[in-house]
Amino acid sequence: MSAFTDRVDAALADRQLKIAVERTAGTAEAKRATAVAAFSDFDAARKRAAAIKDHVIEHLGHYLVEFERNATAAGAVVHWARDADEACRIVINLCQQAGAKSVARSKSMLGEEIGLPHALAEAGIERVETDLAEHIIQLADEPPSHIVWPAMHKTREQVSALFRARHADPHVEETIAAMAESARRHLRDKMLAADVGISGANFLIADSGQVCTVTNEGNAELSLVPPRMHIVTAGIEKLVPSMPHAVHLLRLLARSATGADLTQYTTFYAGPKRAADADGPDAMHIVLVDNGRTRMRSHGLAEMLRCIRCGACMNHCVVFRQVGGHAYGSTYPGPMGAVITPAIDGLNAETRDLAHACTLNGKCREVCPVDIPLPTLLRGWREKSWREGLEPVSARMGIGAWSRLAGHPWVYRRAVGLGNWLLRRIGKRWLHAIPFASGWTRHRDFPAPQSNASFVERYARGER
Ligand code: SF4
């Protein structure tokens, strides 16, 4: 058993987790369906979105240079990071140069990907999360379990208990509004006193050097406006050529993520505070992070760089809905995570499992607003894992035997007939005793066949 299957077993046994995931993913699924039905020609819009992203990925060098030139002209300092360590080093150095004791951080999956929370803790810099869900998981000392709702795995009852245990002046009434007030009392002064603000970016606009962030709580703005210095960390795939392209993608992002027409807060900004501005940071830095993205581009995973991190693929994934995000054991869970994680961490005995945690039902591709062929990319990892000999011996022997059998149709038909005959006699009573099949039979029923004839034989006879 791998660490992955252990985590999956633990998740399947956790009834609270199932309730929490279903509440949020079920609501998101229903709201997205309503929003998409009300959108005229969603399919054409997502094809255009895919074309915008493909164009940028193909001309990445050009748009990166254009963005750097325009962001610099607006007064920002642009830094380049090859990998997670270099990105963290740049951010920590900037914080230390600013003499920062605390940072107000706005939720960013890139920040999680590069391990920024850990790097800040190691540098002795206090981290104040401005996103409510990030605050919840920081209190619980847990990683995010979803890219849009990091605390999706927690029920409101669990959050209430956590706030009562950790907040100095917790809520009295058992309502969500009272719990939000409890968090506000705990966080507000710390947020406003932070020396440095750190946020991610939803889009980087090449022809203006602007950064765009979308949130539902205004938390990105809390990390942008009050602190003296603002640092943006962003993956290089976040580029778009110009504002109309960003707006087109924004319309799809909000609908796919939460079913809303637009998020509550959508902010575009460039450079630090100017003389005429009422507020804003004195200095602004943008850290552009590769961390495997150029490798993905040149190794057959360019389509994955279209991803706008809406989370729709995980909300609609039958596996994610059963096990939640932590079972994947990586920053990015669900179908998109199963493709990205081996690209960032390398394909190995642990990450190979992710591509197998998929039924290939195609729902993720159907709902993806940038039309990423996730099932095809997952199959690509499976094939690579097979070629590199990472599949377990039992799977290699089983599939090897099956392929030899399938190569001889006459023998195959006889074997299927014999198998049917046997199953009809021994039924499921014996199946659980087959040692190498327990991974399959432990959680699944295997009803006895209805007749000795195979599907092909019954189909040929016209049985429907
Ligand atoms: S792969 Fe598609 S559906 Fe999944 S998060 Fe990315 S953009 Fe959204």
Proportion of the chain above pLDDT 70, given as a percent? 95
C-alpha of residue 311 to centroid of ligand 1, in Å:
6
Q: Ligand 1 centroid vs 450 CA: distance in angstroms?
A: 41
CA distances from 152 to 142, 157, 167, 201, 288 (A): 12, 13, 20, 22, 28
Cβ of 340 less than 6 Å from ligand 1: no
**Three-state SS annotation for 34-74:** HHHHCCCCHHHHHHHHHHHHHHHHHCHHHHHHHHHHHHHHC
How many other C-beta atoms are found inside a 10 Å radius of the C-beta of residue 76?
23
Nearest of 191, 211, 246, 267 to residue 71 by alpha carbon: 211
pLDDT band at 135 (very low <50, low <70, confident <90, very high): very high
Question: What confidence category does residue 21 fall into, taking pLDDT thresholds of 50, 70 and 90?
Answer: very high
The average pLDDT across 429-458 equals 70
Alpha-carbon Rg for the chain in angstroms: 25
Residue 88: is its pLDDT beyond 70?
yes
Contact 313 CB / ligand 1 (< 6 Å): yes
Torsion of CA 23, 440, 345, 302, to 10 degrees: -80
DSSP 137: H
Query: Cα torsion for 225, 228, 232, 233, to the nearest 10°?
Result: -130
Who wins on pLDDT, 453 or 338?
338
Q: Whose CA is nearest to atom 6 of ligand 1?
A: 307
CA of 152 to the centre of ligand 1 (A): 17
Ligand 1 close to Cβ of residue 336 (< 6 A): yes
- According to the model, what pLDDT value does residue 453 have? 79
| CA–centroid distance, residue 368 to ligand 1 (Å) | 5
- Residues in contact with 159: Cβ distance below 8 Å, sequence separation at least 6, in sequence order: 136, 151, 179
H helix or E strand, kind and range, residue 230 = strand 229-235
Phi-psi region of 188 (alpha: psi -120 to 50; beta: other; left: phi over 0): alpha
Bridge partners of 400, per DSSP, are none
Q: Can you give the pLDDT at residue 304? A: 98
Residue 203 — φ and ψ, nearest 5°? Answer: -145, 145
* Residues in Cβ contact with 105 at an 8 Å cutoff, skipping those fewer than 6 apart: 111, 116, 117, 120, 127, 128, 129, 130, 134, 197, 198, 199, 223
Q: What is the pLDDT of residues 52-83, one digit of tens each?
A: 999 999 999 999 999 999 999 999 999 999 99
Dihedral of CA 11/16/17/19: which sign?
Answer: positive
Cα 326 to ligand 1 centroid, rounded to whole Å: 18
Q: 49 in ligand 1 pocket by Cβ < 6 Å?
A: no
* Closest C-alpha to ligand 1, atom 7: 307
Q: Does ligand 1 have an atom closer than 6 angstroms to the CB of 36?
A: no
Question: What is the C-alpha to C-alpha distance for residues 388 and 377, in angstroms, rounded to an integer?
Answer: 17
- Ranges of beta strands (E only) in 263-415 are 265-269, 283-289
Which ligand 1 atom sits nearest the alpha carbon of residue 304? 1
Q: Which of 174-178, 254-258, 324-328, 394-398 has the lowest mean pLDDT?
A: 394-398
Q: Judge whether residue 318 has pLDDT over 90.
A: yes
Amino acid at 179: M
Atom 4 in ligand 1: residue holding the nearest Cα? 313
Quote the mean pLDDT of the chain: 92
Q: Say which amino acid occupies 306.
A: R
Å from CA of 410 to ligand 1 middle: 45
Q: Which two tokens stand for residue 277?
A: 């501005």
Tell me how crowded residue 17 is: count the other CB atoms within 10 A of its CB. Answer: 24
Report the distance separating Cα 409 and Cα 399, nearest Å. Answer: 16
Tokens of 454: 């195979």
Residue 300 has pLDDT above 60, yes or no: yes
Tokens of 359: 């039924």
Q: How many CB atoms lie within 10 A of CB 409?
A: 10
Task: With a cut of 90, say whether residue 253 has pLDDT above it.
Answer: yes
pLDDT exceeds 80 at position 428: no
368 lines ligand 1 (CB under 6 A): yes
Under the banding of pLDDT at 50, 70 and 90, the label for residue 433 is low
Backbone angles phi, psi at 2, to 5 degrees: -90, 170
Q: What is the pTM assigned to this prediction?
A: 0.90
pLDDT at 430 over 70: no
Residue 138 reports pLDDT greater than 70: yes
As a whole number of angstroms, the longest Cα–Cα distance in the chain is: 85
